[in-house]
A and B are shown apart, each in its own frame.
Chain A
Amino acid sequence: MAKIPVQFRLNGTDRAAFVDAPETLLNTLRRSLGDFAPKYGCGQGACGVCTVLIDGEPHLSCLTLSIACEGRQVETASGMASGPELHPLQAQFMEHFAAQCGFCTPGMLTAARSLLDKNPNPTRDEVIEAISGNICRCTGYEPIVAAILAAAGSPGLRRA
């Protein structure tokens, strides 16, 4: 099958790939662009580990056609740190032991980032709502919610 060229901005850098027609963004990110932060969990939209931001809004990359991302902004957990400096969410996830196996973490960080970008001081219910599409099999969610609430209050948030 002929490959189709697609270009989009990934974590602030212009990237291009040749994709199969029905290829998902998740496969393009992992197989062609070397971004392994978004994971393949269910392929069904149910677990949220593949969550990325497209034009600033959370989307499931396992259900998104790569060619539909032409010219758009795609952001993953890989782009959250600036150099060696962690994003406040990443720092608070470590601080609060909000990851065990870590499989859900990139999707959780992305979903949480989208919330804090729009609403820097969310309530606990708003945090729960924001990560309601993301399943964690390990932590019981409490440390994750605590980490996100802590990051919300952190002075580094605005800068990030």
Chain B
Amino acid sequence: MLDVRSCATLSEAAGILSGDRQAVLIGGGTLVMRDVNEGRLTEGTLLHVTDPAFRRIEAGGGRIELGAGVTMGMILANRELAFLHPAARAIGGPAVRNMASVGGNLFAPAPYGDFTVALLALDAQVVVQAGFGSGRATPLEEFLAARERSGSALVTSVQLSRPANPGDFHFRKISRVKPKGISVLSIAAHLPLTGGRVAQARLAYGAMAPTPIRARGVERALEGKSLDAGAIQAAKQAALEGCRPATDAIASEWYRREVLPVHLGRLLAGNSR
């Protein structure tokens, strides 16, 4: 039998999640409730968090904190988060965006997880709370590598720094059905320039591996370079390092590998498509 518990505080939810293997946190429910409707989830307890902290946005200064229950719709309604709007807008249609949470996106299996790709290119930290007590900040990349094992811990928020120049941040979702098709792949890039040269490049891909991944080969190829044709060519050559895309209903592994360097090249060259 499936039960539901409302948790008035985050620590209550974290405590239940740590102690009960059959407890499942429900963020926006866009993935969990599918399983309920399909009869794949019939036992255990759904945890519904009503703590306002779960949906809090702190975006005034250089440090940004998004409660894990913050939805894509809430991000789109916040002007201070304009640099994240392309990534939030990439997710589903309007109704999905009013439900889909930042926390849920961290757990969404490929080819989902587009918002997480943006967070990865922004060096975000994930605040995880296992049991009572306070949360621990973990680099997003580490969190994703351990994602399957982090099943029983609560993500309370994500933290990131505002890009000094929002124009240095780029996000692109490649899909076949416009405007809201599921990702063939997605790319996020944070390319701060110092004296016209890339310093501390961060690139991430979605749907190119079981979780969103950093594009380390590209980061290395661009580091210290100006974004000219030679650097872009080198980046394209390094584009597929570490990629393990799946074949699914949206695209084959072959297709994903073929089109990634093309779209990466266009993104780096500043082409709008």
Contacts and interface: CB of A to CB of B under 8 A. Distances in A.
Contact of B48 (A1, A44, A51, A68): A68
B117 interface: no
Q: How would you classify the secondary structure of chain A's contact residues: helix, strand, loop or mixed?
A: mixed
B145 interface: no
A105 interface: no
Interface string A69-97: 00000000000000000000000000000
A64 B2 CA distance: 15
Q: How would you classify the secondary structure of chain B's contact residues: helix, strand, loop or mixed?
A: mixed
A21 B3 contact: yes
B96 A133 contact: yes
Interface in A1-36: 1, 4, 21-22, 24
B73 A22 contact: no
Interface string B13-37: 0000000000000101110011011
Contact of A59 (B3, B99, B179): B99
B37 A65 contact: no
Interface size grouping (class) on chain B: 20 to 34
Contact of A67 (B4, B37, B93, B99): B4
B1 A1 contact: yes
B95 interface: yes
A44 B94 contact: no
Contact of A44 (B28, B34, B180): B34
Contacts of B28: 63
A99 to B, nearest CB: 20
B92 interface: yes
Q: Which 5 residue pairs of A and B lie closest in terms of their CB atoms, listed nearest first?
A: A133-B93, A43-B37, A63-B33, A21-B4, A58-B95
24 contacts: A1-B1, A22-B4, A22-B36, A24-B33, A45-B30, A45-B33, A51-B95, A54-B98, A59-B95, A59-B98, A63-B28, A64-B99, A65-B33, A65-B46, A65-B48, A67-B6, A67-B48, A68-B48, A111-B94, A111-B95, A133-B92, A133-B93, A133-B96, A134-B93
Interface of B: 1-4, 6, 26, 28-30, 33-34, 36-38, 46, 48, 73, 92-96, 98-99, 179-180
